[in-house]
C-alpha cells in the first residue's frame, strides 16, 4: 500500500488515514488511488466490520491539488476526464459499500474533502473541523460531490455553499445533521470512533450490508413505492440466517453468534 494512506485497525474498525499532511491531504490521483484501494481491501476483509477515513495533519483534506488542476486545460479531453477517476470510483463504492463508513474530521474538509466526508454514513468531528466548497473562487464548480452532499444537506444550504464558497462551521454542520457528534479533541474523536466500532461489531453483518443498500433505494423512491419495495426487501431478512439467531439470542439472553464468528 502506498504511504499516501496508512491503514490501521481499532478493534473491528479499519482506519484509513490520508497521509499527505504537508500538502493538506490533496485528493490527487496518487492519494485517491491509494485511498480507493485501501477502502476496497477493508470492505473485502471479513474481520473488518466498519471502515473509518481519517487524516494526518491540520486538515482533513483540501480537495483537489490545484498545482495539478491548473494544467488540465492543456491536457487531452480523455486525460482531463480521467483525472478524478479514482475519487469518482470511491463515491460509487460508497453507494454500495457492505459496511458502515465513518469520517473522522479533525480539521478543515474543503471541496473534495467535504465530499469525502459526505460519502460516509457517520461524520464525527472536532471543533477544528469546518466544511466548505470554494471551487467557484477558482473558476470551477463542485460537480462530483453533488451526488452525496445533496442527500446529506438541505438543498438551499448546499447551493448557497456552492455559489458563495463560504464555510460551514462544525456547529452548524451538527445542527443540520451532517455531523453526528462533536468531540472535544483528537483523543475524544478516536474514543467516539471506538464506541461506534463496538456498536457496528454487535450488529448482524448481513442486516447492515443489505439494510444499507435497501435504505439507499427506499430513500429515493416515492412513499407508496417505497412501502411496497420495503415489504419485498423484508423477505431477505425473514428468510435469512441472522433473524433466527438474533431472535434466539435475545430470548435466551446470550450474545448472538453471527456467521463471521464475531458474536
Report which of 177, 180, 166, 53 is spatially closest to residue 126, judged by C-alpha positions: 180
CB 50 within 8 A of CB 202: no
- Beta strand ranges found along 143-236 (DSSP E): 168-169, 181-182
Cell of 206: 448481513
Report which of 206, 207, 226 is spatially closest to residue 216, judged by C-alpha positions: 226
Residue 210 CB-density burial (10 A; 0-12 exposed, 13-18 middle, 19+ buried): middle
Which of 30, 135, 160, 242 is an active site residue?
A: 135
Question: How many whole angstroms separate alpha carbon 221 and alpha carbon 234?
Answer: 16
Q: What are phi and psi of 10, to 5 degrees?
A: -120, 90
Helices first, then strands: H and E counts in the chain: 12, 9
CB 88 within 8 A of CB 148: no
Q: Which residues of 218-257 are buried (b: 16+ CB within 10 A; e: fewer)?
A: beeeeeeebeeeeeebeebbeeeebeebbeeeeeeeeebe
Catalytic annotation present for 89 = no
Catalytic residues: 135
Amino acid at each position: 500500500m502506498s504511504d499516501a494512506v496508512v491503514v490501521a485497525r481499532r478493534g473491528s474498525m479499519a482506519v484509513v488515514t490520508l497521509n499527505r499532511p504537508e500538502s493538506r491531504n490533496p485528493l490527487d490521483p496518487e492519494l485517491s488511488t491509494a485511498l480507493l484501494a485501501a477502502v476496497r481491501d477493508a470492505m473485502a476483509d471479513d474481520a473488518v466490520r466498519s471502515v473509518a477515513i481519517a487524516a494526518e495533519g491540520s486538515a482533513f483534506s483540501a480537495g483537489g491539488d490545484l498545482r495539478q488542476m491548473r494544467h488540465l486545460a492543456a491536457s487531452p479531453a480523455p486525460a482531463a476526464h480521467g483525472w478524478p477517476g479514482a475519487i469518482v470510483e470511491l463515491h460509487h463504492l460508497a453507494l454500495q459499500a457492505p459496511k458502515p463508513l465513518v469520517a473522522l474530521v479533525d480539521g478543515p474538509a474543503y471541496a473534495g474533502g467535504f465530499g469525502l466526508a459526505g460519502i460516509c454514513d457517520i461524520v464525527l468531528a472536532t471543533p477544528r473541523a469546518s466544511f466548505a466548497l470554494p471551487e467557484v473562487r477558482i473558476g470551477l464548480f463542485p460537480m462530483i460531490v453533488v451526488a452525496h452532499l445533496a442527500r446529506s444537506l438541505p438543498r438551499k444550504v448546499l447551493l448557497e455553499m456552492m455559489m458563495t464558497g463560504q464555510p460551514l462551521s462544525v456547529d452548524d454542520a451538527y445542527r443540520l445533521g451532517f455531523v453526528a457528534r462533536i468531540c472535544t479533541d483528537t483523543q475524544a474523536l478516536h474514543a467516539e470512533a471506538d464506541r461506534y466500532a463496538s456498536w457496528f461489531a454487535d450488529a448482524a453483518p448481513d442486516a447492515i450490508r443489505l439494510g444499507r443498500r435497501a435504505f439507499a433505494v427506499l430513500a429515493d423512491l416515492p412513499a407508496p413505492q417505497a412501502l411496497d419495495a420495503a415489504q419485498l426487501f423484508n423477505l431477505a431478512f425473514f428468510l435469512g440466517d441472522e433473524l433466527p439467531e438474533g431472535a434466539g439470542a435475545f430470548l435466551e439472553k446470550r450474545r448472538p453468534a453471527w456467521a463471521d464468528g464475531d458474536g
